[in-house]
Amino acid sequence: MLPLSAARKASLMDKVRPALSKGRLGEARAALEQVLPSEPNRADLAFQLSQICYEQGDREACLRYLDRAVELAPNQPQVTATAIARYRALDRPDAALAALDRQIAAEPKAIKPRADKAHYLQLLGRFDEAEKLFRALIKRHPNEPELYRIFLASKKLAAGDPLLRAMERLWARRDLSDRQRMHLGFALAKVMEETGQKAKVFPYLTRANALQRKAAPFDSAAQAREFAAVRRAQEGLAPAPPPEEPPALRPIFVTGMPRSGTTLVERILGAHPGVTAGGELGHALKLAYGHFGAGEQMRPIAQEPPERVAAFAAQYMRLAARDTGRSLGAITDKSILCHLIFGLLDHALPGAKIIVVHRDPRDIALSIYKNHFVPGTHRYANDLAEIATAIKRFRANVAHWKEALPGRLHEIRYEALVEDPEPQARALVAAAGLDWDPACLDTQAAQGAVKTLSVSQARQPIYRGSAQAWKKFETELAPFIEAWGEEPWD
């Protein structure tokens, strides 16, 4: 291959920015891939190619170019930050931890890089290493409440642990910001329950939830309009005919309310040798909104050109394959809000399976209220009455799709699953289109990071410990129970 002239390289590079601005990723990639061999030591070109390949869904090329960028510029902050995110997302834990260590070395006094590493070790199930890091961080920064909350997601404190006394002293301070008090309130509520101080749990929770609600208000009427509009937009969609041949990659959508047991169901399926657990991929609804209009602006999909529906399906499958590292077999997608677009998923993705997880609403409500969610997500979670409304909306969506898609939804009850796991797991595996494998009952052996609030429970065998937990707090749950009204619990 003849070397590129300076003029030719300049001409190719001039094409990159306009192509990217118009979304022509393939054109930009082609230009950069022509230039890179003649500029093999330019980390910026390798880095830009890794970004493009990631957006295209080309996992292998993304990692290849990212590895090269890291090799050439290991201490460049943007390269390091992106490497952490990509290696974590694409299941390269050793590379992610190495990048985190470089970030820590570059910012030795910063809290966040060390906290990020400790949290990632939690997700990997390396709890002892995470605890060592968190305790060292808290000793150095005892007035940072978020450290306590994240650490305690996978740790139970004994009643005499010095951290508990430190948290109570911190709570008594009057100069805490709303954000700090919110994090500390969730942490203290968890410790109070675990150390048997039941009367103190809800006072902390009530304050923490009120502060989070203040920071991220919830518009219930807007959510109701969005859900109704998205359902209407899917009217008239015909179920996809069975594919002539099974698709090479087949998604299994697992949905339910937060804290309903979807993680356990995914771990059962993910333990099957023919399945890769994808976690909350988050692509389906985002792509649906991008292709057909967001929320209340969603257009009737049955009137859209078939090519647009096909493009939605193809893009979803590319991104799902990228994030799971699979091009063959079955993958799970535990994205909570997929229940909004079951009609589209059934129409656009032949061979896809849909699993819906149900749980006693009182246990769901209690668990939601006890947990901190990423700001801006699950905004209803900070008010017990709004949680009741949210669960009812979810159930209404499920009822709608059961009628619209007869026989296409497999429903499973969390309580039945933990009470008698094997028959429920067998029915679940069959509904997912799989042959039974005994490994599905060995959920704690499943590999990979746990991207969920259930970070410690997911590493344990199937157990009944959290069933009917609401009974301990029946009085405190009165606003939820009143808002639920006369509707049956199950």
Instruction: State how beta strands 353-358 and 409-413 pair.
Output: parallel
pTM of the model: 0.91
Contact 380, 217 (CB under 8 A): no
The DSSP symbol for 377 reads S
pLDDT value of position 450: 58
- In the three-class reduction of DSSP (H, G, I as helix; E, B as strand; rest coil), residue 250 is classed as strand
pLDDT value of position 246: 78
> Which candidate, 24, 8, 4, 5, places its Cα nearest to that of 16?
24
Percent of the chain clearing pLDDT 70 (strictly above): 95
The DSSP symbol for 260 reads S
pLDDT of 1 over the 80 cut: no
pLDDT value of position 445: 62
Contact 23, 56 (CB under 8 A): no
- Strand arrangement of the beta sheet that strand 409-413 belongs to: 275-277, 329-333, 249-255, 353-358, 409-413
Cα–Cα dist 445/468, whole Å:
26
Cα–Cα dist 360/468, whole Å:
8
Percent of the chain clearing pLDDT 90 (strictly above): 88
The pLDDT confidence band at residue 447, using thresholds 50, 70 and 90, is low
The pLDDT confidence band at residue 455, using thresholds 50, 70 and 90, is low
For residue 468, the tally of other CB atoms under 10 A from its CB is 11
- pLDDT, mean over the chain: 93
pLDDT of 452 over the 80 cut: no
Lowest mean pLDDT among 4-18, 282-296, 304-318, 460-474: 460-474
pLDDT of 457 over the 60 cut: no
pLDDT of 3 over the 80 cut: no
Instruction: Record the tokens describing residue 184, joined without a space.
Output: 């500390």
Instruction: Record the tokens describing residue 441, joined without a space.
Output: 């009952």
Cα–Cα dist 131/185, whole Å:
20
Q: Measured at the alpha carbon of residue 16, what is the angle toward residues 14 and 20, in degrees to the nearest 5?
A: 140
pLDDT digits (tens, 9 = 90+) for 264-294: 999 999 999 999 999 999 999 999 999 999 9
Instruction: State how beta strands 275-277 and 353-358 pair.
Output: unpaired
The pLDDT confidence band at residue 453, using thresholds 50, 70 and 90, is very low
What burial class does residue 41 get, using C-beta atoms within 10 Å of its C-beta: 0-12 exposed, 13-18 middle, 19+ buried? exposed
Q: Domains in the chain, please, with CATH?
A: 1-105 (1.25.40.10), 109-215 (1.25.40.10), 222-484 (3.40.50.300)
The pLDDT confidence band at residue 247, using thresholds 50, 70 and 90, is confident
Q: Name the β-bridge partners of 355.
A: 254, 410
Q: Name the β-bridge partners of 354.
A: 253, 409
Which has more confidence, 326 or 375?
A: 326
Cα–Cα dist 331/281, whole Å:
11
Contact 351, 250 (CB under 8 A): yes
Span 104-112, average pLDDT: 95
Q: Report how far Cα 139 is from the mean position of its chain's Cα atoms.
A: 30
> Which candidate, 449, 411, 419, places its Cα nearest to that of 255?
411
Span 35-43, average pLDDT: 94
> Which candidate, 406, 355, 455, 399, places its Cα nearest to that of 150?
455
pLDDT value of position 442: 87
pLDDT value of position 449: 59
pLDDT digits (tens, 9 = 90+) for 305-320: 999 999 999 999 999 9
